[in-house]
Amino acid sequence: MNLAAEMVMMTDTLAVRVARRWPEARGIEAFELVHPEGAALPAFRAGAHIDVHLPGAIVRPYSICSAPHERWRYLLCVLREPASRGGSAALHDAVAEGDVLRIGRPRNLFALDQAASHHLLLAGGIGITPILSMAQQLVQAGAGNFALHYAVQERDRAALLGALAVPGLAQRSRLYCSAGDAPARMDIGALLAQAPQGTHVYACGPARLVQAVQSTAAAQGWAPERMHVELFAAPQVVRADGDAAFELVLARSGRVVNVPAGCSATEALGAAGVVVPTSCEQGVCGTCLMGVVSGLPDHRDMYLSPEEQQRNDQFLPCCSRALTQRLVVDC
């Protein structure tokens, strides 16, 4: 990210202090963030995330896994990714208790639907983070109309088990460990088929879990508006014939930016001095979304719905490319 882009991203941030950090599970660190002066933090609804600003102008979104009524803290659990591009590695290696960080205000793209009569919460791996906050919000509201199912490989990879063991949550939660002495797997088909009428489904975790939930729901005839999903990384798209270079035309100025093969559009724009605010850089959060004036995008994101992608009037330059030689964008 260039300096101008960094300044744009810093315009609506606040300082927080790392009050505590601890190993929550294998490969997962927990970070408790508080206001430096002890004040209440901005309110949020379950499912929200914050952008964490890290050294080297790195900005990454992380789900808040504490309960919304706990205004004195934001709790984050961060999985160290083997192929970290700086975010999880920086938090694990360079952030200590007492450090002051800058964060964006909470944003929510994965909220509970208040019209639902029942909520089916499905989590895989680190996807438990927003799902736990949802369950805590429902318990705090006195609602018993939910069930939580959490799948991991090994038990020592399961985060936040202590929070799931409290009254109100323990009897409505189930953990599945696919490896070990008594392996168990989440039966997505059965859970969806047996869900009470009026249920809304919320799934968060690895792409394979989320895609399995989506495909199973479609096969069972679930209405799309009752399905809510969040991915922390979009699946990698590999074209058999490789990526082709294309031209990105900025409609407001007429400027043409060449996007080589192996380079993202945001990288090419940044190299040309064009400010594009980004966060996840993986096609999940929607921060870099821009309009398309003409040309055909090659959508590779998980932010736009299939219907929105079919309209071809929006484009996420952090991961998507072009199927035409030229793509004219509203920038």
Q: In the chain, which ranges are continuous DSSP H helix?
A: 3-9, 87-94, 128-140, 161-164, 188-193, 207-219, 265-271, 306-311
Which residues fall within 8 angstroms of residue 41, CB to CB, at 6 or more apart? 14, 16, 33, 34, 35, 71, 72, 73, 74
Compute the C-alpha angle 45/51/55, nearest 5°.
155
Per-residue pLDDT of the chain (331 residues; tens, 9 = 90+): 333 344 444 457 999 999 999 999 999 999 999 999 999 999 999 999 999 998 777 888 999 999 999 999 999 999 998 766 668 888 999 999 999 999 999 999 899 999 999 999 999 999 999 999 999 999 999 988 999 999 999 999 999 999 999 999 999 999 999 987 778 999 999 999 999 999 999 999 988 899 999 999 999 999 999 999 998 765 555 554 568 899 999 999 999 999 999 899 999 998 899 988 887 788 878 889 999 999 999 999 878 888 899 999 999 999 999 999 999 999 8
Cα separation, 96 vs 267, in Å, equals 30
Cα separation, 200 vs 310, in Å, equals 25
**pLDDT reported for residue 9:** 45
Cα separation, 264 vs 175, in Å, equals 39
284 in Cβ contact with 320 (< 8 Å): no
Domain parsing of the chain, residue ranges: 3-104, 118-231, 246-329
Compute the C-alpha angle 31/34/38, nearest 5°.
155
Q: pLDDT tens for residues 216-248?
A: 999 999 999 999 999 876 555 555 456 889 999
Which class would CATH give 246-329?
alpha beta
Which of the 8 DSSP states describes residue 299?
A: -
Which residues fall within 8 angstroms of residue 67, CB to CB, at 6 or more apart? 46, 133, 136, 137, 140
Compute the C-alpha angle 147/132/308, nearest 5°.
85
Cα separation, 187 vs 189, in Å, equals 6
Residues present in the chain in total: 331
Q: In 141-225, which ranges are continuous DSSP H helix?
A: 161-164, 188-193, 207-219
Cα separation, 162 vs 174, in Å, equals 13
313 in Cβ contact with 278 (< 8 Å): no
Q: Output the six-digit token pair for 153.
A: 């490989």
Region 118-231: CATH code = 3.40.50.80
**pLDDT reported for residue 140:** 95
Q: In 153-278, which ranges are continuous DSSP H helix?
A: 161-164, 188-193, 207-219, 265-271
**pLDDT reported for residue 277:** 83
CATH fold of 3-104 reads Elongation Factor Tu (Ef-tu); domain 3 (2.40.30)
**pLDDT reported for residue 237:** 54
